[in-house]
Amino acid sequence: MEKEIIFLVEEAPEGGYQARALGHDIFTEADTFGELKKRAQDAVKCHFEPTEVPRLIRLHTVKDEVIAV
């Protein structure tokens, strides 16, 4: 059993957030960050067998900003 699973979280181009698990085929999205947390929990529970669910979910937020010089 893994102790934690890490999601890469990005702002979606159309608004809201997208989260992709590193090393697993798990993807979820939501309009708010609070909703994204709940959906990540649900997605992890659905992906793993009950005895294999990681104890922690780490949300690594990435924000790209482009500025003119």
**Cα gap 45→3, rounded to integer Å:** 14
Provide the pLDDT for residue 65. 83
What is the amino acid identity at position 11? E
Of the listed ranges 4-13, 18-27, 41-50, 57-66, the one predicted with least confidence: 57-66
Helix, strand or coil for residue 36?
Answer: helix
Helix, strand or coil for residue 19?
Answer: strand
Query: Where do the structural domains in the chain lie, given as residue ranges?
Result: 4-62
What is the amino acid identity at position 67? I
**Cα gap 42→7, rounded to integer Å:** 13
**Cα gap 53→46, rounded to integer Å:** 9
Predicted confidence (pLDDT) at residue 52 exceeds the cutoff of 90: yes
pLDDT of 23-48, one tens digit each? Answer: 999 999 999 999 999 999 999 999 99
pTM of the model: 0.87
Confidence of residue 1 (pLDDT cuts 50, 70, 90): low
